[in-house]
Structure 1
Amino acid sequence: MRDTLRGGLELTRPANCIAAGVLTAIGAFVAGIGDAGDATTIAVVTTVLAVAAGNAINDYFDREIDAINRPDRAIPRGAVSPRGALAFSAVLFAAAVVLAVQLPPTAIAIAAINLVALVTYTTVFKGTPGLGNALVAYLVGSTFLFGGAAVGDLRTPVVLAALAGVSTFTREVIKDVEDMAGDREEGLRTLPIAIGEREALWLATGVLAVAVAASPIPYLLGTFGIAYLLVVVVADAVMAYACYESFSDPTAAQRRFKYGTFLAAAAFVVGRVAVSI
């Protein structure tokens, strides 16, 4: 029983769920619309539940690939049955829907799109070169949009969502390089398999360069001041180094990208705080 409970928790990837919830909260905070604590809380919990459900159903469909790439995960090692993982995911999705319908229409629309995207990612898009990466990039960026929509404003979070999405696309390509053995065994045509490992990494680097070049836009438009720019430059440097590192150690590089994404989000928080003072 203890191993089953632990396995169920592992299916949700608690760290990723908390991270997604934090990104939603940041989106709401950056929007800066008065006192919207209840809406923000609902949006954050909805995000946590939806991401947990998505992770669980992803492990259900990825169980054969994980048996090669990650045999220590809950389903391959037998802690949770495939049917149990599917049922657990359905319960989490249902809970997310119950919460989401309490939010404004725009937030409900984003939630509906994201729930469909989470379910179809593994079954439809994951093995399609580039499209799976783009879908995950959208999902990460949309956490900021969801937070902003929950409190009634999308203007500032749109920029943050776009930057986060582009940088996530790069990280996802690097993750595909890391997972090539299992993906090839399963017959998936991810971007590195379709066009080659180094070619995919160069493409990912080029995409990141676009995000880095665009990152000063909030400062140039006068939305945020120098505090934002100083932090976002550090975030850009971390992600640029991760791209360089990906050619020799994709595992370390894709983990480093997480830090870069959170630093970029922190830049927006710092920018909002500085403007409010």
Structure 2
Amino acid sequence: MSSWLAYLLRNKTLGNVLCTSESVKRQICVRWPLNASWRRPSCFALYELLLVHKRKLLSHLSAFFLLSRPLNGLITALSVGIGALTTDQIPAWPAILLAALSAALINGAGNAFNDLMDIEVDRINRPLRPLPSGRLSPSAARMQSLLLALAGCALAFWLSLWHGLIALVVVALLAVYSISLKNSLLWGNVLVAFVGAIAFPYGALAAGDIGRSWIPALFAFLFHLGREIVKDIEDVAGDQIRGERTLPLCWGRTQAAVLAAFVYLLLVGFTWMPFFAGLYGALYALALLPVHALVGYVLWQLYRRRAVLADDRLGRLLKVGMFLGLVAIVVGEAVFALG
């Protein structure tokens, strides 16, 4: 391997242009020490240098992407769209898309800020996340959270004054949750559930009225509330080290699991209400079956493991259940529109 790159990297001007990372620069200089052979450039050596930069850049980009939890953002955007479908107005899709984008950006800002506040706990509970793994610095996460929040609020105010005010309230609530309310007993779980539920009226308002957005909103509130309790059970190890006052730590894992089971039983009962009220038809009832099966499996796992959870599998599985529930509501709205 020719060592002309080491010479270029030691040169103040060329080195700064070719390699802005001091750590990468040192690695290359060690591998290719300066000697007389630098005058014979190697295209392969230049290609390897570019590969180093490419890997580093892709690592940073993936860390930025994962920090905002894109699946959560996608679910939030879909929630806004589903809320718009529950109205009796003709959808104004440009406004709905703006509302969905602003909600997804604010959701990403909240997730990034929450990870920033939880970096020490995540070193134990989720060590592969971008911040505890070291792929992203806290200052970069702070800037990302701020920019996403500003962009989301700007789009919301562009849409309407009411959307802008709702966006500001949600951003404030997410910040309060991450800073202090997360340590409170159950109130943090209720706040997260409320923020998840408000996406549906937010989307319906973009379409013209509130409509039947209360159906997906109440479904989302109960689903998120139960899932937050399950996630607290999963995070007992890290939360105990940090000294947080979560439900499983104050009441015990078993009592927390009983409360989660009660919330999900309420959810199952509520999901039948639109069917028996004559709003949604038989296809909606069929679409509910996978949701109920998944909830039943999660509750069975909580009982079988005695609420001792060593990973976040159930929390991730419940995220799939939330998506299936939204699909069922879309089916119900389609039946309502046709009927």
Pick the TM interval, shorter chain.
over 0.9
After TM superposition, give the deviation of residue 148 of structure 1 in Å: 1.1
How far off is 1:78 after superposition?
A: 2.0
**Percent of aligned positions with the same letter in both sequences?**
32
1:266 equivalent to 2:327? Answer yes
The SS at the match of 2:80 is: helix
Report the count of equivalent residues.
277
Extract unaligned runs of 5+ from structure 1. none
Are residues 1:216 and 2:272 paired? yes
1:198 paired with 2:254, answer: yes
Alignment correspondent of 1:83: 139
Q: Deviations over 1:91-136 (max 9, x none)?
A: 1111001100123444334322211111111112111121111111
Pair 1:102 & 2:158 matched: yes
Q: How far is the alpha carbon of 1:152 from its aligned partner? A: 2.0
- 3-state SS of paired residue (2:185): coil
Q: Which amino acid letter does the alignment assign opposite residue 284 of structure 2?
A: Y
Structure 2 residue corresponding to 1:66, chosen from 122, 145, 152:
122
What CA distance in whole angstroms lies between the structure 1 residues aligned with 2:287 and 2:217? Answer: 17
Give SS of 1:102's match.
helix
Amino acid across the alignment from 2:272: P
In structure 2, distance between residues paired with 1:204 and 1:40: 33
C-alpha separation between the residues in 2 aligned to 1:9 and 1:15? Answer: 10
Distance in 2, Cα, partners of 1:32 & 1:226: 21
Out of 172, 192, 195, which is 1:139 matched to?
195
| TM-score, structure 1 normalization | 0.94
- Structure 1, 99-108 or 217-226: larger mean CA deviation: 99-108
**Residue segments in structure 2 that go unaligned for 5+ positions in a row:** 1-55
Q: Which amino acid aligns with 2:129?
A: R
The one-letter amino acid of 2:232's match is D
| 4+ long deviations beyond 4 Å | none
- Distance (Å, rounded) in 2 between the aligned partners of 1:267 and 1:74: 33
Secondary structure at the counterpart of residue 136 of structure 1: helix
Q: Distance in 2 between matches of 1:66 and 1:255?
A: 16
Task: Tell me if structure 2 keeps the 8 A contact 1:141–1:165.
Answer: yes
* Deviation sequence 1:189-248 (CA, Å, 0-9, x none): 110001000110001101111111111111222222222222124322321221221342
Alignment partners' CA distance in 2, 1:225 and 1:165: 23
Q: Is the 8 A contact 1:104 1:149 kept in 2?
A: no
Letter aligned with residue 205 of structure 1: A
- State the Cα deviation string for residues 76-102 of structure 1 (Å, max 9, x = none): 222221122111111111100110012
**What whole-Å deviation, never above 9, does each CA across 1:1-45 have from its counterpart, x for those lacking one?**
423222211211122211211121111122242031011100110
CA distance in 2, matches of 1:106, 1:229: 35
Deviates more, 1:168-177 or 1:222-231: 222-231
CA-based RMSD of the aligned residues comes to 1.7
Structure-2 residue corresponding to 1:161? 217
Which is further off, 194-203 or 62-71?
62-71
Contact 2:76 2:103 in 1 (8 A): yes
Give the counterpart letter for 1:252 in structure 2: R
Equivalent residue, structure 2, for 1:50: 106
Which one scores higher on RCO, CA 8 angstroms, separation ≥ 6? Answer: 1
Indicate how the Cα distance of structure 1 residues 106 and 159 shifts in structure 2: closer, same or farther if over 3 A, else same: farther
The answer to whether the 8 Å contact 2:119/2:132 transfers is yes
Partner of 2:233: 177
Query: Which residue is equivalent to 1:276?
Result: 337
- Aligned residue for 2:71? 15
Is the contact between residue 137 and residue 166 of structure 1 (CA under 8 Å) also seen in structure 2? yes
Pick the structure with greater CA Rg. Answer: 2
Q: Show the counterpart of 2:296.
A: 240
